[in-house]
């Protein structure tokens, strides 16, 4: 049962500077709640929320919760966190996202996007289409929607579009009417110790759908999920799978992305052109088209709106170009996502040297997916690997980026012992024309910023 927040009450967020909690905070401000929050450092999200009326504390302290009616905490917060302990001592309820997320969407038709990869872009595509076709949705996205410059918003329309995060089982708090499942592949081994654990979590999510599941038939995990869940309506999309009811045909490169024809069963629907690169985004677009068509958007209107979709922050995000060297910032940190991102770079920048700069994210993920990482960089000409970004974890003996580079079969993979060292290596060795793809869920985008700054300074 979803927890009900006191209408107009004071809600305090622990970890408000993160993309997930900041999005919910913005929704609650728009719904008339008083919002405060704390984080260990400033971010673009804390700055934006302060301008919108939130009280922001940099640093954590027991007195930050004074006057709060409820706390909402990020998944990274420990039970002995100073603000959480203070709240429990005085009887203030403490919630995770999954506890309260359904209550803030009451009365809306919920369109949720789940999957190990592609959630942010797919969710953003749906929100973009609904905005461009005049349907004014509410939305929560795990990145900044280029269309609005925000990661969340409250609209007057009937749709609430949300990225359904599997980590910490957040998506178990949702009750979607339409759910897109892009793929089901093992990730977050710190929370899902086995592939079976992750699949069971997705199965639980699928059982909460009150409507239609839109699954990618080209992904074995998503197809298996659809075949497992029998008490809801399933519909499939894909390029290669015979199970796909909505298909992309005649796929070819366009100006920036791909052009393709869409067919439903044996009926041609029309053409789509994407402004974002990557064959994986053809699949994402198919799932989006199926979802918005179920919601009630005609195919022609949805296809036209997709043409102007420019992506989201940190998803193949163009950060700058100098002397025919382009720097791209991307969130890829799973082997499958790395392959897709590098394929997109190779296709978008033909004739360019492709430099992959990767910051491994968490020791548990690096250890669990070790073998897959060693072969994930085939579309790169050069690979630079930085130290592992620990995030919420402690180091694991023997699990190092340096050892992983030694295990790679790539002809030019090197280890850089720091972000500064990686930037200096790029400055010394990159020759134009080239594209540098910084892949990180941590702080490695600093490498691209440093490279562009020093190149611009001559």
- Same domain, residue pair 162 and 87: no
Look at the chain and report how many structural domains it folds into: 3
| Cα–Cα separations (whole angstroms), residue 84 to 13, 14, 94 | 10, 8, 7
- Same domain, residue pair 274 and 338: no
Q: 186-193: which pairs have CB atoms within 8 A and are 24 or more residues apart?
A: 186/116, 186/368, 186/369, 187/116, 187/334, 187/365, 187/369, 188/365, 189/364, 189/365, 189/367, 189/368, 189/369, 190/362, 190/364, 190/365, 190/392, 190/393, 191/167, 192/166
pLDDT in the model for residue 441? 95
b/e string for 71-90 if b means 16 or more Cβ within 10 A? bbbbbebeeebbbbebbeee
- Same domain, residue pair 145 and 269: yes
pLDDT in the model for residue 230? 81
Partner residues linked to 140 by β-bridges: 152, 162
Beta strands in 219-335 (DSSP E): 233-238, 246-253, 258-264, 267-273, 317-322, 325-330
Q: Which residues are catalytic?
A: 119-120, 163
pLDDT in the model for residue 4? 86
Q: Mean pLDDT of successive 10-residue segments in the chain (458 residues)?
A: 86 96 97 97 94 97 98 90 97 96 96 97 98 98 95 97 97 98 98 98 97 98 93 95 97 93 98 97 98 98 98 94 97 97 96 98 98 98 98 94 97 98 98 98 96 93
Is residue 74 a part of any domain in this protein? yes
- Same domain, residue pair 170 and 288: yes
Could you give the residue ranges of the DSSP H alpha helices within 317-362?
335-348
Closest CA to 35 of 161, 152, 172: 152
- Same domain, residue pair 242 and 197: yes
- Same domain, residue pair 147 and 67: no
pLDDT in the model for residue 124? 98
Is residue 148 a part of any domain in this protein? yes
Last-in-domain residue among 70, 95, 120: 95
Is residue 408 a part of any domain in this protein? yes
Residue 268 is part of which domain span?
Answer: 102-306
Is residue 5 a part of any domain in this protein? no
DSSP state of 138: E
- Same domain, residue pair 325 and 274: no
Closest CA to 161 of 139, 144, 179: 139
What is the CA angle 74-75-81, rounded to 5?
A: 70
- Same domain, residue pair 343 and 398: yes
- Same domain, residue pair 86 and 161: no
Is residue 2 a part of any domain in this protein? no
Phi, psi dihedrals of residue 99, rounded to the nearest 5°: -75, -30
CATH number at 143 reads: 3.40.1190.10
How many helices (DSSP H) and strands (DSSP E) are in the chain?
15, 21
Closest CA to 38 of 67, 20, 19, 12: 12
Last-in-domain residue among 253, 272, 306: 306
Last-in-domain residue among 306, 336, 358: 306
Partner residues linked to 356 by β-bridges: 383, 437
- Same domain, residue pair 325 and 369: yes
Is residue 4 a part of any domain in this protein? no
DSSP state of 171: G
Is residue 312 a part of any domain in this protein? no
CATH number at 24 reads: 3.40.50.720
- Same domain, residue pair 264 and 394: no
- Same domain, residue pair 125 and 174: yes
Closest CA to 175 of 153, 156, 154, 160: 160
pLDDT in the model for residue 78? 85
Dihedral sign from CA coordinates of 176, 182, 183, 186: negative
Question: What gap in Å lies between CA 384 and CA 412, rounded to an integer?
Answer: 9
pLDDT in the model for residue 79? 82
Cis peptide bond upstream of 433, omega within 30: yes
Is residue 29 a part of any domain in this protein? yes
pLDDT in the model for residue 255? 85
On the CB side of 392, CA atoms within 13 Å amount to 11
Question: What gap in Å lies between CA 399 and CA 84, rounded to an integer?
Answer: 32
Beta strands 109-114 and 94-95, pairing class = unpaired
Question: What gap in Å lies between CA 25 and CA 150, rounded to an integer?
Answer: 12
CATH number at 323 reads: 3.90.190.20
pLDDT in the model for residue 231? 83
Q: How far is CA 311 from the centre of its chain?
A: 11
């Amino acid at each position: 049962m979803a927890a009900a927040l006191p209408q107009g009450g004071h809600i305090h967020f622990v970890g408000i500077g993160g993309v997930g909690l900041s999005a919910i905070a913005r929704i609650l401000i728009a719904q008339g709640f008083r919002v405060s929050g704390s984080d260990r450092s400033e971010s673009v999200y804390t700055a934006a929320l302060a301008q919108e009326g939130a009280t922001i504390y940099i640093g954590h302290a027991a007195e930050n919760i004074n006057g709060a009616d409820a706390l909402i905490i990020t998944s990274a917060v420990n039970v002995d966190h100073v603000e959480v302990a203070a709240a429990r001592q005085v009887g203030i309820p403490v919630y995770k996202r999954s506890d309260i997320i359904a209550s803030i969407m009451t009365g809306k038709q919920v369109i949720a996007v789940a999957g190990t990869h592609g959630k942010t872009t797919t969710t953003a595509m749906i929100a973009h289409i609904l905005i461009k076709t005049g349907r004014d949705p509410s939305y929560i996205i795990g990145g900044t929607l280029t269309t609005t410059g925000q990661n969340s918003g409250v609209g007057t329309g009937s749709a609430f579009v949300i990225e359904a995060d599997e980590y910490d089982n957040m998506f178990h708090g949702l009750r979607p009417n339409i759910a897109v499942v892009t793929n089901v592949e093992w990730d977050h081994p710190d929370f899902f110790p086995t592939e079976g654990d992750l699949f069971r979590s997705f199965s639980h999510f699928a059982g909460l759908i009150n409507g239609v599941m839109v699954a990618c038939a080209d992904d074995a995990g998503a197809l298996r999920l659809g075949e497992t869940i029998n008490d809801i309506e399933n519909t499939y999309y894909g390029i290669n799978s015979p199970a796909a009811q909505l298909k992309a045909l005649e796929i070819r490169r366009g100006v920036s992305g791909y052009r393709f024809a869409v067919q439903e069963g044996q009926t041609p629907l029309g053409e789509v052109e994407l402004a974002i690169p990557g064959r994986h985004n053809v699949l994402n677009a198919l799932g989006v088209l199926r979802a918005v068509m179920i919601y009630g958007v005609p195919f022609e209107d949805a296809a036209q709106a997709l043409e102007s979709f420019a992506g989201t922050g940190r998803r193949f995000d163009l950060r700058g170009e100098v002397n025919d060297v382009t720097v791209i910032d991307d969130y890829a940190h799973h082997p499958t996502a790395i392959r897709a991102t590098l394929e997109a770079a190779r296709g978008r920048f033909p004739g360019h040297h492709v430099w992959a700069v990767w910051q491994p994210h968490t020791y548990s993920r690096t250890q669990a997916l070790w073998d897959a990482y060693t072969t994930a960089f085939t579309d790169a000409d050069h690979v630079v690997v930085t130290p592992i970004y620990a995030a919420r974890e402690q180091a694991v003996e023997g699990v190092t980026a340096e050892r992983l580079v030694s295990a790679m079969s790539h002809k030019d993979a090197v280890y850089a012992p720091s972000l500064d060292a990686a930037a200096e290596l790029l400055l010394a060795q990159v020759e134009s024309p080239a594209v540098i793809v910084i892949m990180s869920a941590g702080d490695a985008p600093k490498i691209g910023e440093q490279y562009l700054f020093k190149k611009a300074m001559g």
